Structure 1
Amino acid sequence: MTQWIAVALAITSAVCLALGTQIQSAAVTGHTGGALSPRGLLVLVRNRRWVGGLALLASGTLLNVAALALATVTVVQPLGVIALVITTLLHARRRRLTINRRTWLAVALCSVGGAGFVACAVPATDPSHVAGAGAERLVVLLLTGLVVLVGVAEVVLRRRRISMFYVLAAGVLYGFVAVLVRLTMTALLSGGIGAVHWLSVLMILVAALLGGWMVQCAYSCGPPDLVIAGLTVVDPMVGVALGLVVLGEAGAGLTTGTAVTMGLAGLVAIVGVVLLSRYHPEVLQRRAAARARTTDPGSGTRPRAATTPCRGEHADQ
């Protein structure tokens, strides 16, 4: 029963995250014409719409934390894919986009893959399992290295504006955050404030802030539903992998057949993300606009350079 309460909290969290993502994305794209800079972020902090989106995202995060306190990472994290459907519909309405068949197929694949993953994860995990201190230290060590790597890569790749880098980096960081939140809440509920490992709390804050910056940068050069699609696939996969391999959350129900089914469900969701990144109507519009800027139909010549909305959207040309 407790796990299903966690599922309900996670679904409500997904709704808040979808609404907050749509609102923040609109605020970011309305105030930036290129790569988001720290100065641009300071401008956004004074934007009421952006702050409202932040409040929704914070509410969604708190609900997700409550869900993680009641159930394992493996059960809670994949439910975030519900946010994709909501974000896609809201964004299409705001931009007056016609959602094409391939986009609907992509959304369906992400949703079916996520739902299948959860259906397999619920009986395959042990919600009463408590990870040891060694496992938590390993997660913190891995996350520390990841934060350094992502921070350096962000500085090096900033001018290239590779959208999938932002999305993948945020997804991996948030996957680690979910695991550490689960460990921290478990320690707090079982042993009180004295049982909490404060280095884990510090790394939660650092990774969450860096992941938030990655998300804001992704908003500046891509549709919000593509960002959500990447996060709702990468985030849970990282969380599940850490939960099963590092934390030992696998229960007696995790058979070979169940593991294979979970893998196939995850693959279906990944295919959905790839399709969305290639055939989303806004991505197609950006691609067409980039072609128009790089080629002069009147003279048949190419100008010296063109500014693309975001690298990674033209890889299939």
Structure 2
Amino acid sequence: MLPDVTDLANTISLTPAKAIGIPIALVGAVFLAIGAQLQHRGVVKVETQSETRSSGGLRLGQLFALLRRPSWVFGTLLLGLAVVFQLTSLYFAPIIVVQPLGAIALIITAVVNARVSGVRLTRRAIRSISFCIVGVGLFVTIATITGQSKEISQTELVIVLVLLVVITVAFAIVFALLRKRFEAIIYIVGAGVLYGFVATLAKVVIDRIHTLFIGASDTHGFEWLTLTCVIALIAAAAMGGYFVQSAYSSGPPDLVIAGLTVIDPLVAVSIGIVVLQEAADAPWYAIVAFIVAGILAVYGVFQLSKHHPQTQH
């Protein structure tokens, strides 16, 4: 039994250099929470001034109007800082460790939004948030114990890019056909899925740039596939950003953050498990636990969209 325990300790332990990524990710989560609240305030004010509630997403004129709202601009700057801290944390630590730490932003946003809006969270809403936190925490704990981080191959990267293209096209078609029927939860799911791919591609680009600078002999270099990753990353981030702003117009900020901090890491870690085979050596009960944890977290998001006081009419 002793060798097994030793192997487990070696698997889940973080070196001091990698552990630096954890506090960096937590600071980014704080910026994410505050920035989301400010952006939500700006979107609500723009919609109020337009005198008509936009159905099927924000219109182009409303998007330009956001640039004139100080709260939205400042919130965007804070979100920019959150992205910088997130990317920095990904440089130091594995994605399965730091990406889900954004769930801390859900707690902060829920508390801040309750105070700002004067709307107290109900027991059902608090229970839904608890499902999100527990589900994500369990999912990542299992991933940290059973997952084996490795460098992504060219073939695996192509698969990730193809999946991103397929999903983006699917969302674009659904958006074009069902634009008027879109509600906050649909935008949130779309943004969470896209940002999950963004996080994965960002980790790939960061690792390849790092490998290029240290001059490793086995590096692929910053070649055309890496450039394709950068382009795909920017496109997915832009589309996800539009979905987030549209979600703010039809839902409270803590619901938006719940979707992003749950669906985003679930997608990113799932890519690592399914495509990159990072959990290939995991026992069968770990796979079952993955599924249960994911269901708990996603269930919490949908329940929060149903029972949040600000989504009930």
TM-score above 0.5:
yes
The answer on 1:23 being equivalent to 2:38 is: yes
Equivalent residues in 2 for 1:130-145, closer than 5 Å: 130-145=151-166
Classify 1:118/1:24 alpha carbon distance in 2 versus 1 (closer, same or farther; 3 Å): same
Q: What's the C-alpha RMSD, in Å, of the aligned pairs? A: 1.8
Alignment check: 8 A CA contact 1:150 1:169 kept: yes
Identical residues among aligned pairs (%): 36
Classify 1:124/1:8 alpha carbon distance in 2 versus 1 (closer, same or farther; 3 Å): farther
Superposition TM-score, scaled by structure 2 size: 0.85
Write the distance in 1 (CA, Å) between the matches of 2:127 and 2:113: 17
Unmatched segments (≥5 aa) in structure 1:
288-317
User: Could you tell me how far 1:43 is from its partner in structure 2?
Assistant: 0.8
Write the distance in 2 (CA, Å) between the matches of 1:271 and 1:158: 24
The answer on 1:216 being equivalent to 2:245 is: yes
User: Could you tell me how far 1:64 is from its partner in structure 2?
Assistant: 1.2
Write the distance in 1 (CA, Å) between the matches of 2:299 and 2:162: 31
Query: What's the counterpart of residue 301 of structure 1?
Result: none
Classify 1:94/1:47 alpha carbon distance in 2 versus 1 (closer, same or farther; 3 Å): same
Classify 1:11/1:255 alpha carbon distance in 2 versus 1 (closer, same or farther; 3 Å): farther
Query: What's the counterpart of residue 34 of structure 1?
Result: 53
Q: Could you tell me which of 71, 87, 98 is aligned with 1:49?
A: 71
Query: What's the counterpart of residue 237 of structure 1?
Result: 266
Classify 1:203/1:225 alpha carbon distance in 2 versus 1 (closer, same or farther; 3 Å): same
Q: Deviations over 1:33-85 (max 9, x none)?
A: 42211110101012211111001111111111122222333222222211111
The answer on 1:263 being equivalent to 2:291 is: yes
Query: What's the counterpart of residue 117 of structure 2?
Result: 95
Q: Deviations over 1:235-265 (max 9, x none)?
A: 111111111111233375x332333223222
Query: What's the counterpart of residue 273 of structure 1?
Result: 301
Equivalent residues in 2 for 1:192-207, closer than 5 Å: 192=213, 194-195=221-222, 197-207=226-236
Write the distance in 1 (CA, Å) between the matches of 2:122 and 2:133: 17
Write the distance in 2 (CA, Å) between the matches of 1:264 and 1:13: 28
User: Could you tell me how far 1:195 is from its partner in structure 2?
Assistant: 2.5
* Range moving further from structure 2, 4-13 or 89-98: 4-13
The answer on 1:158 being equivalent to 2:186 is: no
Alignment check: 8 A CA contact 2:19 2:92 kept: no
Write the distance in 1 (CA, Å) between the matches of 2:67 and 2:173: 25
Query: What's the counterpart of residue 137 of structure 2?
Result: 115
Superposition TM-score, scaled by structure 1 size: 0.84
